[in-house]
Amino acid sequence: MAQISSSIVIDRPIDDVFAVLTNVENTGTWFPGHVKEWWTSAPPHGVGSTRHARVKMGLMTSENDAVATVFEPPHVAVMKGTSPTAPFEATLKFKETDGGTRVEVATEMFLRGPAKLFGPVFSRWYGKSWDQGLVNLKRMMESGEL
């Protein structure tokens, strides 16, 4: 199992940060690289909602599905991968701070088989991508772009 975590404080109200970060259709706007996600279930989105993602890393492209297993606005959201190629659980926690919102992201990847060989490389890339993505999100939300 690989664990990746990242956090940041965004100078925006907790409801705004939760709404932007939990809408998978925003991911490609702030997450680095070539990531596209979209809902595969009808609104309103919450526990049981599903999404599909297409991720390009270098020359490789992978696709995966996930389901929301926890959705407690504006404090916690959890997505769990449902595709054999994406065994993960991502937890987003939101906490009000003076004038802003602290976001904590923790992802557990349950790598097995040949994926274990690439696990350390992918984990480093994924962790750095989350770090950069949160910096992008902070800049975009604080400037009013999102």
Give the domain CATH number at 50: 3.30.530.20
Cβ-count burial 15-26 (b if 16+ within 10 Å, e if not): eebbebbbebeb
Number of compact structural domains in the chain: 1
Is the pTM value of this prediction over 0.85?
yes
The pLDDT-based confidence of 110 (bands split at 50, 70, 90) is confident
Mean pLDDT throughout 58-81?
A: 94
How many other C-beta atoms are found inside a 10 Å radius of the C-beta of residue 64?
A: 18
What pLDDT sits at residue 16? 98
What is residue 115's predicted lDDT score, i.e. its pLDDT? 66
Per-chain mean pLDDT for the chain: 92
Return all residues near 129 (Cβ < 8 A) that are at least 6 apart.
Answer: 31, 32, 33
Instruction: Summarize pLDDT for 14-64 with one digit per residue, the tens.
Output: 999 999 999 999 999 999 988 999 999 999 999 999 999 998 877 888 899
Spatial distance between the Cα atoms of 41 and 25, rounded to a whole number of angstroms: 12
CA atoms within 13 A on the CB side of 61: 5
Q: What is the distance in angstroms between the CA of the first residue and the CA of the last residue of the chain?
A: 34
Helix (H) or strand (E) holding 18: helix 14-21
Over range 99-104, report the average pLDDT: 96
Confidence of residue 103 (pLDDT cuts 50, 70, 90): very high
Structure tokens at 116: 């274990």
- Residue 77 structural domain: 2-143
